[in-house]
């Protein structure tokens, strides 16, 4: 047994996921919670729980000091960061080292390298991994930007060197638009990351986003667990992920090629523990390194379903210094898995967050279904954090069967009290592009624009809708915050009964 006690520096479904791995390994799990999470599922499930402060994440889940303090007072031997929060902050592994606690993740140096997009690009070029044509250092001035852009040809994409997740990005179609794009991207980057450095890349139109899961141990061995197709996203937020990628399924040589490249990326970064190498894939199926995520990802379950591995257990064993339990040759991929991210948000109201109390909750069950969730009936989804309430994951022996199973699971899934995006998924699984696996990163926006018709809403209209929804939410909070938005009042019910009599 690698550890006796692990502290989980996270909340929600991922904290629950890690607790489950701990329990199966005979390890005591210590939860942490902010004031609004006192009754959260991860707190109820863990053997122990430590309060870490008020609701704002900056004073609780994002505080290295509070997390280390909690680990100390619980005498935990290791910390699992989950995803989000401190998971990619090199300050946490450093503080762990100082406190004599094992960090379940990569080194601070690997995180730092991958945190700088320009440094990561340089390292990947040196390692012989294909990167999108572009500048490999932050741009000094407009003249340099002009000459670099002319070298790759328009359109180009201005990106933040410290970026990721789409912040500080600007597409530039013509040279005359370059100065404004540079200015805007730099100021957005300064605000978001405290670093105004930007660089440029050739802009790939409607690429696929395919990522490779890697595992490295502390003895220098690295393997890959194949790909995940993550092209289905909206506003840089993934909504559906699957394994295998429908594209790779029809071009099987791509898995080994991208897998080899991902292993080279990990080696070049001196990487250990679980990580993900993201690639963009163009229309000609050429792939380019985009970035590496130095954490366990939200969508890891699709890889687990298809490979049969337990990634969290592997992470824990690796952190304890054990060698990988599998060789590359032992990894096999069986069947197809699809994950839907179930959010407390209203698809009929511009996906506006819909926190609040869950009244009833009926989840799908039966063959090939996995639901990872931090929700339970009677629990209130707090508005302070990410509104992900569950991940619905299905597995079947073929993609077509997985889609049929997903459709069945979505029919069985019912939740009252809050809005969710389940209805969005019910529509999505019927679309011919999705069913045929013709996916790219522009698909959801195009598909939603089509559904809205030629008079589909402009960004201005969308803003107006969001504003109206915000006002509505504020009003409902100003009144009785506990009142369910969807359920009719007792007076209405009584009135209806009276009418029926």
Beta carbons of 46 and 72 less than 8 angstroms apart: no
Phi, psi for residue 242 in degrees, rounded to 5: -145, 160
Task: Give the residue with the Cβ less far from ligand MV4, 172 or 316.
Answer: 172
Task: Give the residue with the Cβ less far from ligand MV4, 28 or 159.
Answer: 159
Task: Give the residue with the Cβ less far from ligand MV4, 201 or 346.
Answer: 201
How near is the Cβ of 1 to ligand MV4 at its closest, in Å?
Answer: 38
Alpha-carbon span 457 to 157, nearest angstrom? 25
Surface-to-core class of residue 1, CB atoms within 10 Å of its CB (0-12 exposed, 13-18 middle, 19+ buried): exposed
* Beta-strand pair 287-293/352-353: unpaired
How near is the Cβ of 156 to ligand MV4 at its closest, in Å?
Answer: 8
Whose tokens are 């003895």? That residue is 219
Q: How many Cβ atoms are within 10 Å of 480's Cβ, its own excluded?
A: 8
Task: Give the residue with the Cβ less far from ligand MV4, 50 or 441.
Answer: 441
Task: Give the residue with the Cβ less far from ligand MV4, 291 or 314.
Answer: 291
How near is the Cβ of 278 to ligand MV4 at its closest, in Å?
Answer: 7
How near is the Cβ of 409 to ligand MV4 at its closest, in Å?
Answer: 25
Task: Give the residue with the Cβ less far from ligand MV4, 233 or 307.
Answer: 233
Phi, psi for residue 460 in degrees, rounded to 5: -65, -45
Give the list of residues 6+ apart from residue 397 with CB closer than 8 angstroms, or none.
334, 335, 336
3-state secondary structure string, 341-390? Answer: EEECEEHHHCCEECCEECCEEECCCCCCEEEEECCCCCCEECCCCCCEEE
Of 295, 341, 405, 419, catalytic: 295
How near is the Cβ of 149 to ligand MV4 at its closest, in Å?
Answer: 12
CA contacts within 13 A on the Cβ side of 279: 30
Give the list of residues 6+ apart from residue 238 with CB closer than 8 angstroms, or none.
230, 232, 298, 299, 341
> Is residue 11 among the annotated active site residues?
no
Site residues, ligand MV4 (CB under 6 A): 132, 157, 164-166, 201-204, 207, 209, 233, 236, 280, 290-291, 441
How near is the Cβ of 94 to ligand MV4 at its closest, in Å?
Answer: 25
What is the set of active-site residues? 295
């Amino acid at each position: 047994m690698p550890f006796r006690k692990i502290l989980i520096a996270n909340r929600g479904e991922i904290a629950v996921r890690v607790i489950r791995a701990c329990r199966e390994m005979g390890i005591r799990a210590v939860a942490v919670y902010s004031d609004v999470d006192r009754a959260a599922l991860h707190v109820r499930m863990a053997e122990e729980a430590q309060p870490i402060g008020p609701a704002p994440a900056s004073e609780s889940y994002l505080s290295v000091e509070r997390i280390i303090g909690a680990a100390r007072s619980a005498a935990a031997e290791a910390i699992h960061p989950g995803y989000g929060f401190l998971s990619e902050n090199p300050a946490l592994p450093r503080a762990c080292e100082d406190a004599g606690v094992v960090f379940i993740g990569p080194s601070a140096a690997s995180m730092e390298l991958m945190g700088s997009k320009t440094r990561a690009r340089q390292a990947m070029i040196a390692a012989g991994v294909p990167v999108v044509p572009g500048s490999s250092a932050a741009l000094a001035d407009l003249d340099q930007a002009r000459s670099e852009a002319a070298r790759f040809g328009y359109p180009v994409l201005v990106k933040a060197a410290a970026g990721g997740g789409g912040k500080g990005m600007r597409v530039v179609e013509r040279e005359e638009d370059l100065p404004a794009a540079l200015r805007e991207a730099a100021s957005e980057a300064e605000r978001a990351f405290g670093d105004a450095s930007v660089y440029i890349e050739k802009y790939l139109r409607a690429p696929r986003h395919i990522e490779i899961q890697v595992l490295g141990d502390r003895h220098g061995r690295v393997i890959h667990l194949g790909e995940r197709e993550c092209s289905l996203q909206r506003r840089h937020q993934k909504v559906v992920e699957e394994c295998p990628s429908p594209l790779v399924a029809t071009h099987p040589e791509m898995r080994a090629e991208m897998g080899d490249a991902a292993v080279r990326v990990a080696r070049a970064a001196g990487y250990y523990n679980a990580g993900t190498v993201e690639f963009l894939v163009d229309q000609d199926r050429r792939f380019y390194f985009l970035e590496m995520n130095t954490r366990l990802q939200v969508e890891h379950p699709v890889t687990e379903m298809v490979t049969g591995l337990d990634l969290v257990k592997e992470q824990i064993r690796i952190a304890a210094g054990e060698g990988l339990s599998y060789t590359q040759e032992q990894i096999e991929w069986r069947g197809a898995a699809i994950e839907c991210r179930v959010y407390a948000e209203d698809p009929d109201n511009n996906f506006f967050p819909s926190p609040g109390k869950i009244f009833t909750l009926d989840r799908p069950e039966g063959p090939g279904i996995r639901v990872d969730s931090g929700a339970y009936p009677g629990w209130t989804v707090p508005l302070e954090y990410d509104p992900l309430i569950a991940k619905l994951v299905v597995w079947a022996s073929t993609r077509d069967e997985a889609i049929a199973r997903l459709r069945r699971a979505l029919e069985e899934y019912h939740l009252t009290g809050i809005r969710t995006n389940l209805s969005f998924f019910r529509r999505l699984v019927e679309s011919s592009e999705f069913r045929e696996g013709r996916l790219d990163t522009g698909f959801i926006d195009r598909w939603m624009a089509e559904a809205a018709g030629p008079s589909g809403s402009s960004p201005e209209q969308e803003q107006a809708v969001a504003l109206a929804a915000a006002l509505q939410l504020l009003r409902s909070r100003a009144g009785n915050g506990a009142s369910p938005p969807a359920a009719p009042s007792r007076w209405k019910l009584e009135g209806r009964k009276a009418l029926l009599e």
